[in-house]
Structure 1
Amino acid sequence: MNWVKIIHLLCVMGWMTSIFAVPRALIFWKREHARLGEFGPLGDLTVRLYRFSAGLGVVALLTGLWLAAFWGFPGWVWVKLVLVLALAGHYAWTGRMVLRARRGVFSESDRFLRIFNEISVLGVIAILWVVVAKPF
């Protein structure tokens, strides 16, 4: 079971990296696009990071469900799962912004993207609190 935990944590860390980095990268990609007038290297890097981390997120979810089943789905796991699904929704929203950016459409302001990025940090803090404190 320790190997499942290790794989889970490793994939979670990779997914979190993208959750924090892609909205920030969109800010710089937007500036690059305004300067170049086309899809540049930062856009390619952002798309690749998003795609790669999607797989990590799926593995993290599957191994997390495996661990939850092993532990008998205690109450705190359900709270964590709801928070993870909310974070997955945030990630999907990020994906929609990445797809639009590939077409050269940057609708969101830098300020919106910064705030959007910080919301994910609050979600991760909530998840960590539930995992560590196990309040339910």
Structure 2
Amino acid sequence: MDWIKIIHILCVMGWMTSIFAVPRAIIFWRREYERLGENGPLGDLTFRLYRFSAGLSVIAFLTGLWLAWDWGFPVWVLVKLAAVLALLAHYLFTGRLVRAAQRGEFPYSDRWLRVFNEVSVFGAIAILWLVVVKPF
């Protein structure tokens, strides 16, 4: 079971990196697009990071369910799962932003994207608190 935990933590770390980095990268992608008039290397890198982390999120989710099953789905795990689903919604919306950026559409301001980026930090803190404290 320790290997499942290790794989879970590793994949969560990779997914979280994308959750934190991609919205911020879109800000710089927009600047690059305005300068070049087309998608440049930063856009390609941002898309690849998002796509790669999608696989990590699936592995993290499956290993998390495996661990939860082994633990008998205690209440704190169910609350954590709800928080993870909220972060998943954030991630999927980020994917919509990436697809729009690939078409040269940047519908939100830099400030909006920064706030959107910080929302995920609060979600991650809530999940970490649930894992460490196990309040339920």
Q: TM-score, normalised by structure 1?
A: 1.00
CA–CA distance in structure 1, aligned partners of residues 49 and 108 of structure 2: 20
Match of residue 103 from structure 1: 103
What is the total number of aligned residue pairs between the two structures? 136
Instruction: In structure 1, list runs of 5 or more residues that go unmatched.
Output: none
- Relative to the length of structure 2, the TM-score reads 1.00
| Aligned residues with identical type, % of pairs | 74
Where has structure 1 moved over 3 Å in runs of 4 or more?
A: none
Aligned to 1:59: 59
Shift of 1:112: 0.4
Q: State how 1:3-82 maps to structure 2 within 5 Å.
A: 3-82=3-82
Instruction: Tell me how far 1:48 sits from its aligned partner.
Output: 0.1
Unpaired runs of at least 5, structure 2:
none
**Aligned residue number for residue 120 of structure 1:** 120
Q: In structure 1, give the amino acid aligned to 2:110.
A: D
- Which AA in structure 2 matches 1:35? R
State the distance in 2 between where 1:35 and 1:131 align: 44
* Alpha-carbon distance in 1 for matches of 2:33, 2:27: 10
- Cα-to-partner distance string for 1:60-107 (whole Å, 9 max, x where unaligned): 000000000000000000000000000000000000000000000001
